[in-house]
Amino acid sequence: MRAGKGAIMKPVILVTGASGKTGFPIVGELASAGVPVRALVHAKAKKSMFENMREVELVEGDYNDTRSLEGALNGIHTAYLVSPPSPDQVRLQTNFVNMARLTGLKHVVKLSALGTGTDSPVGLLRDHAEIEDYIRKTGIAYTFLHPHFFMDNLLGDSESVTRDGLLYSPLGDARIAPIAVQDIASVAARILIDGGHRGTTYVLTGPESMTFSEIAAVWSKVIGKTIRYSPVSFDAARQGMVLSGMPAWLAQDIVRLMKTWAEGKGDIASHYVERIIGRKPISIQEFLMAHKSQFLKAA
């Protein structure tokens, strides 16, 4: 984007975790809107992901490296803050917040999660609450995003669904309202561009709460094959996550999170996605239809 004759506008928006689940589509939305954006990645090996985005300035950085954070934040007005799940999440994100305060950041949009709170039984959600409180105390304007279960995580069940016709979960008849990552990205991009929504926390969900039996029924319609919900124990779910390569501490934390949903705390559908971006959030059926070819290929 250019300002005046021959002058190239420098990015004033920074997206951390730019090659990640939410960061990459946020960068894409900003670039598509012609907004200059600085994308922070852990390694420049990810550079090829951004080669078709002319509005993107790529920088390499690490939350453990304050010098790299200083360079990434130089001249930045607004930032999107996210980091991978980690037992060290509080220290890593507060490293970023400390440098953001020193470099004069005006507004941070932080990704947390549904249920974030100091009294949560889930370690990561307590961590998010601690980081949010730290941000409040710095005086930096903030917007906190609390999304529900990522709809995209259902893609991890593609093999069992297409091979066995079974969708596994320990949630029984509990209802949840999964949200598509694209909707999270659209909300975050709109807030980053508009610069409003300060001092606000948004719970982000899909359009409706559903049981896994209902999700299986929708999946059946999409691929033309009967899919059944198959309940499993929480311990079996934890073991399955560990066998798939997930760290044991994270698998245990996710089980604690799912237990809160089984108690009814996931039965919530908000209207913030539509209010912020002006369209209804993506439904389970729309999402599964968009990935239908992937399921057929897996079959």
CATH number at residue 64: 3.40.50.720
Separation of alpha carbons 257 and 203, rounded Å: 16
pLDDT for the residue numbered 208: 96
The answer to whether residue 105 is domain-embedded is yes
According to DSSP H, which parts of 23-144 are helical?
23-32, 66-73, 89-103, 123-138
Does residue 112 surpass a pLDDT of 70?
Answer: yes
Domain count, the chain: 1
pLDDT for the residue numbered 297: 66
Q: In the numeric block, which tokens belong to residue 177?
A: 């309202």
Q: How large is the average pLDDT for residues 200-204?
A: 98
The answer to whether residue 29 is domain-embedded is yes
Strand partners, 39: 15, 58
The answer to whether residue 85 is domain-embedded is yes
The answer to whether residue 250 is domain-embedded is no
Separation of alpha carbons 11 and 31, rounded Å: 11
Predicted TM-score of the model (pTM) = 0.93
The answer to whether residue 239 is domain-embedded is no
Does residue 45 surpass a pLDDT of 80?
Answer: no
pLDDT for the residue numbered 3: 36
According to DSSP H, which parts of the chain are helical?
23-32, 66-73, 89-103, 123-138, 158-164, 181-194, 212-223, 234-243, 248-260, 272-277, 284-290, 292-298
Terminal alpha carbon distance of the chain: 45
Q: How large is the average pLDDT for residues 213-228?
A: 95
Band (298; pLDDT cuts 50, 70, 90): low
pLDDT for the residue numbered 78: 97
Q: How large is the average pLDDT for residues 192-206?
A: 96
Q: How large is the average pLDDT for residues 9-26?
A: 92
The answer to whether residue 164 is domain-embedded is no
The answer to whether residue 87 is domain-embedded is yes
Does residue 278 surpass a pLDDT of 50?
Answer: yes
What's the sign of the alpha-carbon dihedral 42, 44, 46, 50?
positive
The answer to whether residue 241 is domain-embedded is no
Does residue 158 surpass a pLDDT of 60?
Answer: yes
Least confident residue range of 82-86, 133-137, 143-147, 290-294: 290-294
Domain that holds residue 120: 13-152+178-206+267-281
Band (170; pLDDT cuts 50, 70, 90): very high
